[in-house]
């Protein structure tokens, strides 16, 4: 009986010691990293904000759009002539078209003219006017450039541009162009081209029957059109 009581005392002491050690270990662990009582209520850790995304630069004005040189822009100039107001004079050497206004003045437009071998001269009248004209290349042009279309409906892509004024019974016209960079150059097959804006302006100022004088390429007189300030 004595031995049994002694054994029980030793077991109780050992159990008490183990509880004490566990309590100390739990206390130290809690002090080092306290556990939350309700972990499901914790706010999730905040992630680092991503760097700001730069917005795409706004599109700028189209700086590549073509602008005529100052001398080829439509302008009123001093232009002494004996021709009646309303007459059109083509200054072939200087690539200008003058619309005589009277009182020593004219409206001057920059134009594109015929390339080498395709310039011409003489006096004609406007026999027909057309807005957004169709284009039917004449047989002579087809023979030289067989790849050309036989007919093209009027519109922005048509090489005759926004307006056309037909000269007498010839194949030549004063017309617009969808290639404004050719104004001031010698590239056509004999027709006289203006920008679409300028040909629309000219079209509104003249009528069927208007006299058109085309000066020869060999006429190298100085340009008479001085800009009026």
Q: Which residues are catalytic?
A: 175, 191
Question: Which tokens sit at 197?
Answer: 């804006």
Do residues 95 and 184 make contact, with C-beta atoms less than 8 angstroms apart?
yes
Distance CA 50, CA 48 (A): 6
Question: Which tokens sit at 159?
Answer: 């090489």
Going along 79-193, which residue ranges are E strands?
Answer: 88-91, 96-102, 105-110, 113-114, 122-131, 163-167, 173-175, 186-188, 192-193
Distance CA 172, CA 165 (A): 9
Distance CA 62, CA 182 (A): 19
Question: Which tokens sit at 140?
Answer: 């002579």
Distance CA 109, CA 104 (A): 16
Cα angle 52, 56, 59 (rounded to 5 degrees) comes to 155
Distance CA 163, CA 177 (A): 9
Looking at residue 152, the DSSP 8-state letter turns out to be: B
Question: Which tokens sit at 9?
Answer: 């005392």
């Amino acid at each position: 009986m004595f031995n049994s009581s002694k054994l029980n005392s030793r077991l109780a002491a050992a159990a008490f010691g183990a509880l004490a050690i566990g309590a100390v270990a739990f206390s130290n662990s809690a002090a080092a990293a306290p556990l939350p009582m309700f972990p499901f209520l914790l706010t999730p850790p905040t992630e680092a904000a991503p760097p700001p995304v730069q917005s795409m630069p706004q599109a700028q004005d189209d700086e590549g759009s073509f602008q005529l040189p100052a001398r080829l822009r439509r302008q009123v100039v001093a232009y002494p002539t004996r021709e009646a107001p309303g007459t059109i004079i083509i200054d072939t050497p200087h690539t200008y078209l003058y619309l005589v206004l009277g009182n020593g003045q004219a409206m001057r437009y920059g134009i594109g003219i015929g390339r080498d071998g395709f310039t011409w001269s003489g006096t004609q009248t406007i026999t027909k006017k057309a807005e957004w004209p169709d284009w039917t290349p004449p047989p002579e042009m087809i023979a030289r450039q067989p790849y050309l279309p036989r007919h093209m409906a009027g519109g922005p892509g048509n090489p005759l541009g926004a307006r056309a004024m037909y000269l007498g019974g010839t194949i030549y016209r004063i017309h617009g162009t969808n290639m404004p960079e050719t104004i001031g150059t010698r590239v056509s097959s004999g027709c006289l081209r203006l920008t679409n804006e300028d040909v629309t302006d000219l079209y509104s100022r003249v009528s069927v029957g208007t006299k058109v004088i085309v000066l020869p390429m060999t006429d190298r007189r100085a340009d008479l059109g001085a800009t009026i300030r």
